[in-house]
Amino acid sequence: QQQVKQSPQSLIVQKGGIPIINCAYENTAFDYFPWYQQFPGKGPALLIAIRPDVSEKKEGRFTISFNKSAKQFSLHIMDSQPGDSATYFCAASSTLGGSNYKLTFGKGTLLTVNP
């Protein structure tokens, strides 16, 4: 079964710190890697996404780093704020073939940013 392994399961940082969440995948056909953010009581929402033809993508304080040879990607949150406290999910899919809309999710990381 296709898997995306996410770590750590939970993470606590102080305001201004740089939390890093890591994901690893096995299926070399994956070519789309989004991160979703979920606040309590809400559904997940797309935060940022990357394709493997680039090694890094930044959107505001959020950065994805991608290492194709290692089959790993990670999310960095610069200058983290208490409002970033949420559960973060990495995901992956293959845009080739008929099932190009199926996402495989990691198990999630609960991030707490203390004031």
Partner 1 sequence: DVKVTQSSRYLVKRTGEKVFLECVQDMDHENMFWYRQDPGLGLRLIYFSYDVKMKEKGDIPEGYSVSREKKERFSLILESASTNQTSMYLCASSLLGQGFDQPQHFGDGTRLSIL
Question: CB 70 → partner 1: shortest distance, Å?
Answer: 22
Q: Rule CB under 8 A: which of 27-86 touch partner 1?
A: 32, 34, 36, 41-46, 49, 51
Q: Nearest approach, Cβ of 107 to partner 1 (angstroms)?
A: 4
- Mapping DSSP onto H, E and C, the string for the chain reads CCCEEEECCEEEEECCCCCEEEEEECCCCCCEEEEEEECCCCCCEEEEEECCCCCEEEECCEEEEEECCCCEEEEEECCCCHHHCEEEEEEEECCCCCCCCCCEECCCEEEEEEC
Tokens representing 36? 């979703």
Nearer residue to partner 1 within complex by CB, 14 or 100: 100
CB of 114 to partner 1, least distance (A): 22
Q: Tell me whether residue 3 or residue 14 sits nearer to partner 1 (CB atom).
A: 3
Binding site for partner 1 (CB under 8 A): 1, 6, 9, 32, 34, 36, 41-46, 49, 51, 89, 93, 95, 99-103, 105-108
